[in-house]
Amino acid sequence: MEELGVALRRAVTELGSTVGKGALLLAHSQLAQTFLEIPQGSDAVIRQLVAREVERQKPFSGPAVWQDEPSAPYGNGTGRLLHLLPRAVHDDLAAAFRSAGLQLTSVIPVSEAVPELNSGSGAAGGYPVLVGVLIPGGIVLSLRQRDGALLVRSIPLPICDPERIGAELRRTASFARQQFQISVARICLAGPAIAVEEVRRVGASSGLVFEVWAETALDYWATWAQTYGDQPRINLLSREYSEAPQRRVRSLWSQRFGLTCLGLATVLSLVLEFHRTKEVADQSHLRMELTRLEKSVVEARTVNDRMRIQALLVHAWDATVRLPVYLWLPGYLAERLADPLVVTNLYLVTQSSGWRLRLAGCVSSAGQAIPDNTVSSFLTELSDGPLQFEVGVADSPPLIGRSNLVMTGSWTQRLEPLTQESRPRPTRFQLEGTLP
């Protein structure tokens, strides 16, 4: 296959092709075609039966690439025309195209181009025609009916040997008569004019009837491959190789997607690590704050307990002594007290509605009598303020020593009439009132 790679590289260089794809019309000594008789069944069953026949009938060792096509019905079953190629040859062909920078898109057996040489042959009329095309290094034989191909043979020939070609034609016609019970109506030959004429001359001496077509153009194969090579009916290119570009594209996109995901994962991991570090720092700060707050709570509870005890003490004191002691009372009394009165005694007693007040006094000069209206004026002054006096009493000085007097006779005998002027005036006063 090295020569094929060199030829492909030279063609790419000379033509300056930038397409990057290539199709191969193959005529190879190890390219085999055979006819199979398969029972009727579904497509999946027929596919399994053909795969089993491939392993059984392949004329070479090792794995094979193959494809089958429907053929003319045979008996109660169905006919399948099988194309076989060694996998090693297939890989070498693909490697030769790859060395020239081309992507092999199809491997087409040359027998697929044979029916196109004469679309108006007798096969269209219903009778069988054996078509032979001389190619470099051999001949391709195709036996066709209106229902389809019955037989395809690729016979390698180092040189153009008319005797050998005539023998192969007779053998193919005899095989068709024995295998398919049909008689070949005519044999059509195509190829270089000199070689075709020589084969026709040798065959005529053997009783074969030939129809010679026009000489095959040198560019016929390239034209056919360009016309039918994009969507060939038979393509021996393996599925793995034909899907290799798609797999490479998928692999490239998968790599890009994987790298993108890896980059996103890296960025996400960095962001998560940043947040994790920040969260650890926040947790440490929160733990310190929690410790401080717990300490503050303990101190607050201590203060609260102390204040609660103080509140209880205040409430207990307030329950017993609810009314305040007015410190302004002495000054207030001194402002209202008329001269020459002097307060000598002040008593404060708590009660439910306030304070009970009792005060007593005398004239500033000891032993003098209280001037008229002095006590009443003082009482009026006090009544205008917050003090509410209920009783105002002027007492006489105590009678000292009266308990030693001897009382004799009737009490009426002891009465002595006194005049108003002779009655003594009091020397002391006493007042009682309330302070709310």
With a CB cutoff of 8 Å and minimum separation 6, the contacts of 268 are none
Residue 213's pLDDT band, with cuts at 50, 70 and 90, is low
The average pLDDT across 364-374 equals 71
Radius of gyration for the alpha carbons in the chain, expressed in angstroms and rounded: 71
pLDDT, residue 224, reads 66
Residue with tokens 């040359």: 110
Residue 230's pLDDT band, with cuts at 50, 70 and 90, is low
103: exposed, middle or buried (Cβ count in 10 Å: 0-12, 13-18, 19+): middle
- Condensed to tens digits (0 to 9), the pLDDT of residues 40-72 reads 888 888 888 888 888 888 888 888 888 888 776
pLDDT, residue 12, reads 83
Under CATH, which architecture does the 2-242 domain have? Answer: 2-Layer Sandwich (3.30)
242-256, 258-272, 310-324, 389-403: range with highest mean pLDDT: 258-272
pLDDT, averaged across the chain:
76
The average pLDDT across 122-134 equals 65
Buried residues in 66-75 as b, exposed as e (16+ CB within 10 A): bbbbebbebe
Tell which wins on pLDDT, 163 or 145. 163
Alpha helices, DSSP H, located in 233-243: 239-242
The average pLDDT across 131-153 equals 74
- Condensed to tens digits (0 to 9), the pLDDT of residues 259-278 reads 999 999 999 999 999 999 99
Longest CA pairwise span in the chain (Å): 212
The two three-digit tokens of residue 260, written as one number: 């993108």
Residue 412's pLDDT band, with cuts at 50, 70 and 90, is very low
CA distance 205 to 163: 11
Tell which wins on pLDDT, 335 or 267. 267
The average pLDDT across 15-40 equals 78
Residue 389's pLDDT band, with cuts at 50, 70 and 90, is low
Per DSSP (E only), the strands in 91-238 are: 103-109, 129-135, 138-145, 148-156, 186-190, 210-212
Question: Crossing angle of helices 193-204/162-180, nearest 10°?
Answer: 60
- Condensed to tens digits (0 to 9), the pLDDT of residues 169-201 reads 888 888 888 877 777 767 777 777 666 777 777
Q: State if pTM tops 0.85.
A: no
Residue 223's pLDDT band, with cuts at 50, 70 and 90, is low
Q: Comparing C-alpha atoms, which of 28, 79, 27 is closest to residue 53?
A: 79
The two three-digit tokens of residue 183, written as one number: 């008689």
Domain ranges within the chain, ordered by starting residue: 2-242, 243-321, 323-396+426-436
Buried residues in 303-332 as b, exposed as e (16+ CB within 10 A): eeeeeeeeeeeeeeeeeeeeeeeeeebeee
Q: Comparing C-alpha atoms, which of 135, 154, 137 is closest to residue 30?
A: 154
User: What are the Cα distances from residue 347, in Å, to 79, 318, 343?
Assistant: 144, 21, 11
pLDDT, residue 147, reads 60
pLDDT reading at 393 higher than 50? no
Give the 3-state secondary structure of residue 24: strand
Contact call for residues 77 and 40 (beta carbons, < 8 A): yes
Bridge-based pairing of strands 64-70 and 78-86 is: antiparallel
Tell which wins on pLDDT, 24 or 71. 24
Q: Comparing C-alpha atoms, which of 434, 436, 430, 356 is closest to residue 393?
A: 430
pLDDT, residue 122, reads 45
Residue type at 273? E
CA distance 406 to 296: 85
pLDDT, residue 379, reads 78
118-132, 135-149, 220-234: range with highest mean pLDDT: 135-149
CA distance 258 to 256: 5
Residue 52 forms beta bridges with which residues? none
CATH class, 323-396+426-436 region? alpha beta
CA distance 146 to 150: 10
Residue 370 neighbours by CB distance under 10 Å: 18
Residue 338's pLDDT band, with cuts at 50, 70 and 90, is confident
At residue 143, φ and ψ (nearest 5 deg) are -105, 115
pLDDT, residue 300, reads 93
CA distance 363 to 280: 89
CA distance 117 to 154: 16
Contact call for residues 60 and 52 (beta carbons, < 8 A): no
Tell which wins on pLDDT, 32 or 396. 32
